[in-house]
């Protein structure tokens, strides 16, 4: 994998922000050159002290590396600096006359100037083990030729290609997946074995060399099939872009890299990958996510129906105690439905509890105090919590806020404040009211407080304590432990 040393770039001579950005773009895409030529690439920048220091390094992903050790941060040996300086000053590729010996292998070096806006800003060495067989395979001359063209484009300031739509996506093709070389007319002049297999699976039969790829692909796409609008220019090699083609359930991801020599088009290189299985799995996950969202949506609807039935039944009840019990049951069901509503809008079984609790806080205060004016506020942030924690926490806090309004304030005007402090998987919550306080002999006598205590100790793996304030009112303190995975994802 490519790596880079930012401190070396900062110490480099005369590198403007635009030059640094160009280097970062190169490092983001130079794996292509390393894999095509089975070579190590090392980026060298010249420091203010006049020495060259290795600021970046990538190894071929499909072959044996030249450097087993990490070279980033090392100075270039003095014996090699003259060649690097010549490449940097002349903006020309320089080939070392003789291989150098690493102790285990002979390595051929090529010094490639990195040119931006007509000015050389760094040097890349392409270091290749001498021999026909490298990395356990016979290196194909056609793939090395593509790498050589890209090196010459780097020295001419034409690579990396500006405006290339090659945003990395799951399934983006690599050299090992399949390589094609097109001429200026979009005809295939070379295709690797894996690339040939990809297009055969798509439905193109026979030999591929010599055919115009865009015509061959479009001829097998069924009529009235939606296609990516960039497909033609990618398959012709005229645009540096990433596209996808699907025929008969087979999906190919295709990336085009237009090639140029001396300012003139020289065809293109295409990378291709069969992503059929990748897209099939993505579709399965999408279907699963949609199913989960639909389940939460239906549960929310069903709970709202139950809530409405309980509300109707409470209105018809002749006994005040029965009416109150049904109203409390309706409120609890509505609280749970609120959490399911939030879960129905995402796919990861986690919710931003601040949004959920804001509506629960307002609803609990209004329902519990139909006559008095009660103000509510939330200080701090719960953050993102998992579904199970959200259900338990919502129920607990709704009960505590309702209890504070009904019994603490007892129909009077007042204030309920919820204060939150979260540290990784630990949560501390205070529910504070400015009411009359709590009598010790009334704790744990009602259904609500028993529900709260059970959920805190069981589902939230914590503790709860009621404290009377000297200024009047009650402070209910909850200490809870969140799900470890949800806490890590939040951070």
> With helix as H, strand as E and coil as C, how does the chain read?
CCEECHHHHHCECCCCHHHHHHHHHHHHHCHHHHHHHCCEEEEEEEECCCCEEEEEEECCCCCCCCCCCCCCCCECCHHHHHHHHHHHHHCCCEECCCCEECCCCEEEEEEEEEEECCEEEEEEEEEEECCCEECCEECCHHHHHHHHHHHHHHHHCCCCCCCCECCCCCCCCCHHHCEEEECCCCEEEEECHHHHHHHHHHCCCCCCCCCEHHHHHHHHCCCCCCCCCCHHHHHCCCCCEEEEEEECCEEEEEEEEEEEECCEEEEEEEEEEECHHHHHHHHHHHHHHHHHHHHHHHHHHHHHHHHHHHHHHHHHCCCHHHHHHHHHHHHHHHHHHHHHHHHCCCCCCEEEHHHHHHHHHHHHHHHHCCCCCEEEEEECCCCEEEHHHHHHHHHHHHHHHHHHHHHHHCCCCEEEEEEEEEECCEEEEEEEECCCCCCHHHCCCCHHHHHHHHHHHHCCCCEEEEEECCCCCEEEEEEEECCHHHHHHHC
Say yes or no to pLDDT of 240 above 70. yes
Q: Which fold has domain 173-274?
A: Beta-Lactamase (3.30.450)
What is the per-residue pLDDT across 414-461, written as a single tens digit (0 to 9) for each? 888 899 999 888 999 999 888 877 766 666 567 778 888 888 888 888
Least confident interval from 187-191, 279-283, 370-374: 370-374
User: CB of 475 within 8 A of CB of 431?
Assistant: yes
Q: Determine the Cα angle at 297 with ends 296 and 303, to 5°.
A: 85
Calculate mean pLDDT across residues 160-184: 80
What is the per-residue pLDDT across 288-341, written as a single tens digit (0 to 9) for each? 767 777 777 787 788 788 878 887 888 888 888 887 788 778 777 887 787 778
Secondary structure string (H, E, C) spanning 287-307: HHHHHHHHHHHHHHHHHHHHH
What is the per-residue pLDDT across 43-68, written as a single tens digit (0 to 9) for each? 999 988 889 999 999 999 877 788 88
Superfamily of domain 5-154: GAF domain (3.30.450.280)
Q: Which fold has domain 348-490?
A: Heat Shock Protein 90 (3.30.565)
Q: What is the mean pLDDT of the chain?
A: 84
User: CB of 68 within 8 A of CB of 127?
Assistant: no
Q: Which residues pair with 264 in a beta bridge?
A: 261
Percent of the chain residues past pLDDT 90, beyond the cut: 40
Least confident interval from 111-120, 140-149, 342-351, 451-460: 342-351
Say yes or no to pLDDT of 103 above 50. yes
CA distance 42 to 60: 12
What is the per-residue pLDDT across 8-37, written as a single tens digit (0 to 9) for each? 666 666 788 899 999 999 999 999 999 999
Which position has the token pair 């629960």?
360
Model confidence at 93, pLDDT cuts 50, 70, 90, reads very high
In the chain, which residues fall in CATH 3.30.450.20? 173-274
Residue with the bigger pLDDT between 7 and 146: it is 146
pLDDT computed for residue 441 by the predictor: 63
pLDDT computed for residue 282 by the predictor: 74
Say yes or no to pLDDT of 126 above 50. yes
pLDDT computed for residue 263 by the predictor: 85
Say yes or no to pLDDT of 175 above 90. yes
pLDDT computed for residue 54 by the predictor: 93
Least confident interval from 69-78, 180-189, 354-363: 354-363
In the chain, which residues fall in CATH 3.30.565.10? 348-490
Q: Which residues contact 190 (CB under 8 A, 6 or more apart)?
A: 142, 179, 180, 181, 209
Model confidence at 369, pLDDT cuts 50, 70, 90, reads low
Q: Which residues pair with 279 in a beta bridge?
A: none
Say yes or no to pLDDT of 463 above 70. yes
Say yes or no to pLDDT of 145 above 70. yes
């Amino acid at each position: 994998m490519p790596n880079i040393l930012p401190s070396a770039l900062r110490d480099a001579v005369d590198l403007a922000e635009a030059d640094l950005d160009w280097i970062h773009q190169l490092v983001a895409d130079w794996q292509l050159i390393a894999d095509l030529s089975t070579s190590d690439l090392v980026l060298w920048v010249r420091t203010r002290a006049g020495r060259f220091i290795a600021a970046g390094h990538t190894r071929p992903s499909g072959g044996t590396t030249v450097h087993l050790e990490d070279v980033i941060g090392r100075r270039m040996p003095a014996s090699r600096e003259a060649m690097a300086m010549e490449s940097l000053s002349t903006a020309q590729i320089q080939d070392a006359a003789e291989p150098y010996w690493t102790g285990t292998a002979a390595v051929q070096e090529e010094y490639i100037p990195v040119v931006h806006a007509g000015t050389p800003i760094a040097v890349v060495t392409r270091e290749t083990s001498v021999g026909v067989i490298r990395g356990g395979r016979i290196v194909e001359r056609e793939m090395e030729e593509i790498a050589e063209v890209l090196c010459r484009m780097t020295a001419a300031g034409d690579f990396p290609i500006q405006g290339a739509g090659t945003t990395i996506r799951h399934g983006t093709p690599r050299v090992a997946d399949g390589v094609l070389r097109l001429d200026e007319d979009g005809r295939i002049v070379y295709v690797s074995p894996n690339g040939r297999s990809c297009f055969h699976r798509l439905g193109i039969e026979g030999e591929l060399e010599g055919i115009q790829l865009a015509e061959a692909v479009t001829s097998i796409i069924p009529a009235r099939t939606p296609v990516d609008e960039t497909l033609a220019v990618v398959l012709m090699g005229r645009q540096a872009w990433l596209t996808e083609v699907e025929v008969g359930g087979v999906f190919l991801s295709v990336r085009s890299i237009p090639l140029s020599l001396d300012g003139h088009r020289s065809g293109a290189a295409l990378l291709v990958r069969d992503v059929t299985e990748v897209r099939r799995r993505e579709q399965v996950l999408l279907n699963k996510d949609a199913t989960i969202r639909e389940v939460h949506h239906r549960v929310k609807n069903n709970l709202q129906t139950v809530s409405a039935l309980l509300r109707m039944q409470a209105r018809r009840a002749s006994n005040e105690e029965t009416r109150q019990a049904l109203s409390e049951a309706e409120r609890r069901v509505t609280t749970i439905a609120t959490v399911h509503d939030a879960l129905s809008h995402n796919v990861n079984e986690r919710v931003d509890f601040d949004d959920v609790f804001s509506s629960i806080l307002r609803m609990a205060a209004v329902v519990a105090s139909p006559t008095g004016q009660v103000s509510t506020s939330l200080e701090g942030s719960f953050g993102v919590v998992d579904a199970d924690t959200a259900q338990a926490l919502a129920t607990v806090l709704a009960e505590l806020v309702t209890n504070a309004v009904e019994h603490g304030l007892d129909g009077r005007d007042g204030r309920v404040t919820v204060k939150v402090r979260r540290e990784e998987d630990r949560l501390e919550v205070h529910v504070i009211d400015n009411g009359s306080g709590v009598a010790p002999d009334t704790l744990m006598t009602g259904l609500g407080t028993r529900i709260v205590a059970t959920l805190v100790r069981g589902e939230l793996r914590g503790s709860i304590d009621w404290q009377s304030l000297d200024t009047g009112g009650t402070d209910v303190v909850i200490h809870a432990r969140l799900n470890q995975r949800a806490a890590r994802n939040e951070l």
